[in-house]
Amino acid sequence: MGRQLKVILTTILVVVLSSGLVMAGCVSSTPTPPAPTPTPPAPAPPAPAPAPTPPVPAPAPTLPVPAPAPPAPAPAQGPEVGKLAPDFKLQSLGGQTVSLSDFRGNPVLLNFWASWCGPCRAEMPFLQEIFESKEWSGKGLIILTIDIGESPSRVKEFMESYVLSFPVLLDTDRNLALEYNIRGIPTTFFIDKDGIIQDIKIGAFSSKTEIEKRLVKIIP
């Protein structure tokens, strides 16, 4: 009996020691380290900020360009006050061709006459005085006289006998007198530098002063 008890106790002791060793082995064994957590890659550096774009200046406001004014209509032509004096080309007593338009830019005294006309002869000295006046010639005044229907020799004889030297043009076929609607002579047209008729005198002038009073209408 004592022997059996001894065997039992020995067996129990062996079992207990074995169990302790097993337990100790479980405790003292090196623990397996956990798997390392992967390190996330470092973030890429941020892209540099773009350089600021300089502000574009706003275009200056464009003002509307006004349309050019239409050209003024040309004045009507005719032998009347306020109208453009009809142009012409005539031969002078000296044989030159003269046009009224040659004198555009100058005031013109245009006188229609004939040597057989008494009132025409009476006013000739006053026209000559105006022609010789430095006051009026200095202001650009042009004097043109138109003899109606006479020959050059007859006109030349008349001019020499009256000692006249102003320019004479020859309307031998009377066409210009018709165009200017001449109904009696002498007739005088006062034409400004733009070719516009500003005054008409039918009949003879009684003095130089009377002519000058009309000239101020074409020479300010």
In the residue annotation, 26 being an active-site residue is answered as: no
Cα atoms in the 13 Å half-sphere on the side-chain side of 54? 2
**31, two tokens:** 């623990």
In the residue annotation, 120 being an active-site residue is answered as: yes
CA distance 148 to 177: 7
Dihedral class, residue 208 (left if φ above 0, else alpha if ψ from -120 to 50, else beta): alpha
The phi, psi pair for 99, rounded to 5°, reads: -115, 145
Tracing tokens 């106790």 back to the chain, one arrives at 9
Strands (E), the chain: 89-92, 97-99, 108-113, 142-148, 168-171, 187-191, 197-202
Q: Which amino acid is at 118?
A: G
Of 200, 199, 161, 202, the closest CA to residue 185 belongs to 202
Q: Please pick, among 100, 120, 215, 219, the residue that the annotation labels catalytic.
A: 120
Q: Please pick, among 117, 164, 196, 200, the residue that the annotation labels catalytic.
A: 117
**113, two tokens:** 């006459």
104-121 in b/e burial notation, b at 16+ Cβ within 10 A?
eebbbbbbbbbbebeebb
The catalytic residues are 117, 120
